[in-house]
């Protein structure tokens, strides 16, 4: 893979900026389940996703998880390099949800480019604004949307991501994404099953009626 094809503003950079980025970016591959970043104590660097899927999530004091957003091919993650921006203090964990290939740009290198290049500084601000919007959207969902609607929306999204109706997800994993208790998820899934919307089996959920699930999520 060519790094230049995965950095959105590459063509707007000077030749020197392109050289610095291409020489400093380190290509890495990790297996599904690998944790890349463990909160503010880590400062891995800027992540540029080439393939696969990453999950960015937060953990409460009592150990409950909630997914903030996901990263896919050509997405860029700033929170893994939060040490380079004083105002960017999010204590999050980044985990590979699938086998993932990505580049890492060292934080010192990217910070230097950001200070010299208006293009990179502006693009960085756009990334920050996008992630902030995603987190605010999640907060609105948590505050104003009932759990059955959030669960339906999550299952519909998972089906679209996986390209199929059979989702390899445990109740505990779903609860981790939604920031709720496993018992709550189990109760709602059984209700959906009784309504004929889906079928449950060990370690998986099969969606039987996507139309009803979509209507419920709305």
**Phi, psi of 33, deg, nearest 5:** 95, -10
Same domain, 136 and 184: no
Instruction: Give the CATH number for residue 25.
Output: 2.60.120.10
Q: For CA atoms 195, 199, 205, 211, give the dihedral sign.
A: negative
Same domain for 93 and 64: yes
Considering the domain architecture, whether residues 11 and 85 belong to the same structural domain is answered as: yes
Final residue of a domain: which of 113, 142, 171?
Answer: 142
Domain's final residue, options 107, 142, 177: 142
Residues 85 and 99 in one domain: yes
Q: Are residues 203 and 100 part of one domain?
A: no
pTM equals 0.83
- Could you tell me the CATH number of the domain that includes residue 189? 1.10.10.10
Domain total in the chain: 2
How confident is the prediction along the chain (218 residues), in pLDDT tens digits per residue?
Answer: 789 999 999 999 999 999 999 999 999 999 999 999 987 667 888 999 999 999 999 998 888 899 999 999 999 988 887 777 766 666 789 999 999 999 999 999 999 999 999 999 999 999 989 988 988 989 888 888 999 999 999 999 999 999 999 999 999 999 999 999 999 999 999 999 999 999 999 999 999 999 999 999 87
**Same domain (yes/no): 127, 175:** no
For residues 138 and 35, state if they share a domain. Answer: yes
Same domain? 149 vs 132: no
Give the span between the Cα atoms of 2 and 163, in whole angstroms: 27
Q: Is the dihedral of CA 176, 179, 180, 186 positive or negative?
A: negative
What's the domain range around 163? 145-217
Structural domain ending residue among the three candidates 126, 142, 158:
142
Backbone angles phi, psi at 193, to 5 degrees: -65, -45
Based on the domain organization, do 153 and 108 belong to the same domain? no
Q: Which pLDDT belongs to residue 89? A: 64
Instruction: Please answer whether residues 117 and 134 qualify as being in contact, where contact means their C-beta atoms are separated by less than 8 angstroms.
Output: no
Residues found in the chain: 218
Residues 73 and 104 in one domain: yes
Q: Do 90 and 161 fall within a single domain?
A: no
Q: Are residues 54 and 156 in the same domain?
A: no
């Amino acid at each position: 893979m060519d790094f230049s094809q995965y950095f959105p503003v590459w063509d707007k950079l000077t030749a020197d900026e392109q050289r610095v980025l291409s020489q400093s970016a380190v290509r890495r591959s990790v297996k599904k389940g690998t944790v890349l970043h463990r909160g503010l104590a880590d400062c891995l660097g800027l992540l540029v996703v080439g393939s696969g899927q990453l999950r960015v999530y937060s953990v409460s004091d009592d150990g409950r998880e909630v997914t903030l957003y996901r990263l896919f091919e050509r997405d860029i993650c700033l929170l893994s390099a939060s040490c380079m921006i004083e105002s960017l203090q999010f204590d999050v964990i980044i985990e590979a949800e699938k086998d993932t290939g990505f580049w890492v740009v060292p934080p010192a290198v990217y910070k230097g480019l950001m200070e010299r290049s208006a293009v990179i500084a502006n693009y960085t601000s756009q990334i920050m604004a996008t992630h902030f919007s995603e987190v605010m959207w999640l907060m609105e969902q948590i505050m104003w949307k009932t759990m059955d609607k959030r669960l339906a929306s999550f299952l519909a999204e998972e089906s679209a991501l996986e390209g199929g109706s059979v989702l390899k997800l445990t109740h505990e994993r779903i609860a981790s994404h939604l920031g709720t208790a496993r018992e709550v998820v189990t109760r709602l899934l059984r209700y959906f099953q009784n309504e004929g919307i889906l079928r449950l089996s060990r370690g998986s959920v099969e969606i039987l009626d996507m139309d009803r699930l979509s209507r419920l999520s709305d």
